[in-house]
A and B are shown apart, each in its own frame.
Chain A
Amino acid sequence: MNIFRLAGDMTHLASVLVLLLKIHTIKSCSGVSLKTQELYALVFATRYLDIFVTYVSFYNTVMKLIFLGSSFSIVWYIRRHRVVRRSYDKDQDTFRHLFLLLPCLVLALVINEKFTFKEVMWTFSIYLEAVAILPQLVLLQRTRNIDNLTGQYVFLLGAYRALYILNWIYRYFTEEHYVHWITWIAGIIQTLLYADFFYYYFQSWKNSVKLELPA
């Protein structure tokens, strides 16, 4: 494992922990898109179908369990927690799951490395992860009220994607036959979705003013 991959995984882990910590300690999920969190839970569930069958490393298994556990806990908090669920911006978080789910499923059925159930589900999770942040970005733009933790959550997620691209470039030059076209193209699209957010995030950081996205 190279340094970019490890740094990417750590920022990914940090993003999830920031969000869980925010929800758990201040008992509020305001500004957090339940739609995005449900999509991530589905991404992990479909990607790690073989978690107990295919063993890569202790590190991989533990990280997979953390991502599965944290994503489902976040969904549980927003939907079921007596206090947290009252802070959910239901009327603002109106993005339709189906608009993202259906195209990803169709694409996974058509473009995949092998037409098997496991492989199609894996490919579906890659496509879905690429666009799962959209409801969150729409919600941020709509409410325009971004608290620090939600801003950091999205920033860390974007950083994780950018680091994964560096990881692929590194692996391309250091390993033989390391070409995962599907992952790479979906990953680049996913990272590009953050470009706009990054721009405003750095602007607000540079000028030390509160992060606000233009309407």
Chain B
Amino acid sequence: DVEPPPKDEL
């Protein structure tokens, strides 16, 4: 399972 990308957007 790939780690979900960080939520770094607005």
Chain A contact residues, CB within 8 Å of chain B: 5, 9, 12, 54, 56-57, 60, 63-64, 67, 113, 122, 164, 167, 175, 177-180, 183
Contacts and interface: CB of A to CB of B under 8 A. Distances in A.
Nearest to B6: A56
Interface of B: 2-10
B5 A67 contact: no
A122 B10 CA distance: 11
Nearest to A160: B10
A64 B10 contact: yes
Nearest to A175: B5
Nearest to A48: B10
A179 B5 contact: yes
A177 B6 CA distance: 10
B4 A60 contact: no
Contacts of B10: 9, 12, 60, 63-64, 67
Contacts of B3: 177
B8 A180 contact: no
A179 B5 CA distance: 7
Contacts of A64: 10
A57 B2 CA distance: 24
Contacts of A12: 10
B5 A5 contact: no
B10 to A, nearest CB: 5
Nearest to A179: B5
Contacts of B8: 56-57, 60
Contacts of A56: 6-8
B1 to A, nearest CB: 11
B7 A5 contact: no
